[in-house]
Structure 1
Amino acid sequence: MTVALIGAGNMGGALVERLCEAQWAVTVCDIDPLRQWQALAAGASLADTPLAAVAQLGNEGALLLVVVDADQCREVLWGDQGASVGLRPGHTVVLCPTIAPEDTISIAERLALQGIACIDAPMSGGPQRARDGRMSLMVAAPAAVLERHADLLAALSLNVMRISERVGDGARTKLVNNLLAGINLVGAAEVLALAGRMGLDLSTTLDVIERSSGQSWIGSDRMRRAIANDLVPRAHVTLLEKDTRLAVAAARSSGFEGPLGASAAGVFKAASEAGMADLDDAALLSFLRQTAPRP
């Protein structure tokens, strides 16, 4: 029951706490001293490099990558002091970030040349749900690989959804989900900005939406924080900017272009460029209130 985890940020740190609580032996590599301290406090061991992090893995150990994008995945695996040098046949890499399907596939194919298995396993739900085991974990890999790591997947989440045996389908599913999340969040921010312009109380308006046909989980979650002016980052604007951009690109590569996806992606891009990149994506409400033109 040994795991190495690279990237102990908001989501990764929640997974570290959950695994340590379940008595897994976890080695963490993260460049942020605060995240290192939090991992130690949770009961994990620390490693200075990805290569050092995998040194203690057992014969069927797993390396969890909880980084931001495909470039960081490749750097962790094949960069200076990269983990791939220390990985052996029998080990498995679990890819948790939201990345393009083609990147997931290329990483898995490169690992396969070394005899290393790969689980395509993007996550959804936010840090608190990850900590509580209520996040969605979308997994795609050959059935034998998933069975071999069934205990680990169950420890990570109570909501493990097997998408298929085709690596890349987890990434595809996550992009579809996150495009809808982005559309819903832009929509929620837009209508509350409109409510404010009409002179309505935002909290009362959101009460009505939550009990009516306009309700969405991400809308309620983010807009409650926005109304309270609580913009401490749980999910930065840059994340849905990246995810909606990747989703729109994946749609176009499939020969599909809908009416809403590109518009939502454009809002996240504009908010990021307006200086909100590092704020919680609940900041979308204030962005739209500031930028919506007046007659």
Structure 2
Amino acid sequence: MTARIGFIGLGIMGRPMALNLLAAGHELSVYARRTEALTPVTDAGARACDSPAGVAREADIVFTMLADTPDVAEVVLGTGGGTGGSTTGVSASDGGGDDRRARAVIAGIRPGSVVVDMSTISPAVTRQIAAELAPAGATMLDAPVSGGDIGARDGTLSIMVGGPAEAFAQLAPLFEILGRHVVHVGEHGAGQICKACNQIVVGQTIAGVGEALLLAEAAGVDGARVREALLGGFAGSRILEVHGQRMLDDNYTPGFKAALHQKDMRIVQETAHELGLGLPGAALVAQLLNTLVGRGDGGLDSAALHLAQRRLNAQGESS
């Protein structure tokens, strides 16, 4: 069955995901702020709309894939404008709220539609957005992903879904186009909590691999041989395989940018604060990422966290 789909956010992740939906034969309406982001998708057959509201009017299912919590709040509700800042609430930030809401998804959404946010954002704000969409007769699913740009391109993402089970079952065929491992985790916000857990594990594993290679180097042992040996044992992991090699090669061409991982760890820390949890390992990773991004390296792959570790041990030497 062909679905009428909208897609908002055509960056490094969103563009290949939208193209995969098109390639599967679905009708696609799209919106992006930059013409250069639209062109590859419209050239493949998508229809460009002039606003998120326009996308919602054309589609029964609206996907969003955006950078941060305020971006999703702005696009879906017309609130929370801009990027950065607090992820704990949604509110209009200037006097143009009526115009912004008129351009937002909520202004064009129709009863029975589903909004699927595949961004990584605040679980609390996710629940707020779902609550605001409900009176319009629309359902929301939060469905953040793991797998980077390669997984987006190859349709092999891991997708963690929160929201009503009925909506998840309805959209399962679309998720299967986009990902290889799709799990319904629970109600609204559960997908975002799962993604936060993912980023805790990924971040601390990157840090562990980086420290191991630092130790090998300091002791005069070949890091490549150490990595090879560890891959055959209980320490073996996809991160050791891929990011360990990046560290050895000093090659941090981005698949997932450090600045985005920094944002994700901010969400982890804010959520832990809301719940009264101490997560010292996650806090350490967040600080290393803060140091990396603060040095102007936020555009590098998050495996470049290893650079922050090297600088920490340089003790004043240039690095």
**In 2, distance between residues paired with 1:278 and 1:182?**
16
The one of 46, 52, 55 aligned to 1:53: 55
SS at match of 1:158: strand
What residue is the counterpart of 1:115 in the other structure?
137
Q: Which amino acid aligns with 1:62?
A: I
Alignment of 1:245-260 (within 5 A): 245-260=266-281
Offset at 1:176?
Answer: 1.0
Offset at 1:294?
Answer: 4.6
For structure 2, the residue ranges without an aligned partner over 5 or more in a row are 79-99
**In 1, distance between residues paired with 2:57 and 2:126?**
24
What residue is the counterpart of 2:160 in the other structure?
138
Question: Is this contact kept in 2: 1:237–1:279, CA < 8 A?
Answer: yes
Instruction: Provide TM-score, normalisation by structure 1.
Output: 0.91
Alignment of 1:92-131 (within 5 A): 92-131=114-153
What residue is the counterpart of 2:217 in the other structure?
196
**In 1, distance between residues paired with 2:303 and 2:26?**
34
Q: Which amino acid aligns with 1:63?
A: V
Residues 1:163 and 2:165 aligned together: no
Offset at 1:27?
Answer: 1.9
Offset at 1:252?
Answer: 3.2
1:139-187 superposed Cα distances (whole Å, 9 cap, x missing partner): 12212222222322222223110112x1111111111111111111112
**In 1, distance between residues paired with 2:278 and 2:214?**
27
SS at match of 1:118: strand
The one of 70, 74, 85 aligned to 2:107: 85
Q: Percent identity?
A: 29
Q: Note closer, same or farther for the CA distance 1:227–1:31 as it changes in structure 2 (3 Å cut).
A: farther
Question: Is this contact kept in 1: 2:259–2:299, CA < 8 A?
Answer: yes
What residue is the counterpart of 1:75 in the other structure?
74
Count of aligned pairs between the two proteins: 291
Residues 1:214 and 2:235 aligned together: yes
38-47 vs 167-176, which moves further: 38-47
1:64-103 superposed Cα distances (whole Å, 9 cap, x missing partner): 1100111001111233321211111111110111112111
1:44-68 superposed Cα distances (whole Å, 9 cap, x missing partner): 23223212222321xxx11111001
**In 2, distance between residues paired with 1:152 and 1:134?**
13
Residues 1:62 and 2:57 aligned together: no
Offset at 1:41?
Answer: 4.0
For structure 1, the residue ranges without an aligned partner over 5 or more in a row are none
Question: Is this contact kept in 2: 1:14–1:128, CA < 8 A?
Answer: no
SS at match of 1:10: coil
Question: Is this contact kept in 1: 2:291–2:308, CA < 8 A?
Answer: no
**In 2, distance between residues paired with 1:284 and 1:34?**
30
Note the aligned Cα RMSD (angstroms): 1.9
**In 1, distance between residues paired with 2:274 and 2:8?**
30
Question: Is this contact kept in 2: 1:192–1:285, CA < 8 A?
Answer: no
SS at match of 1:282: helix
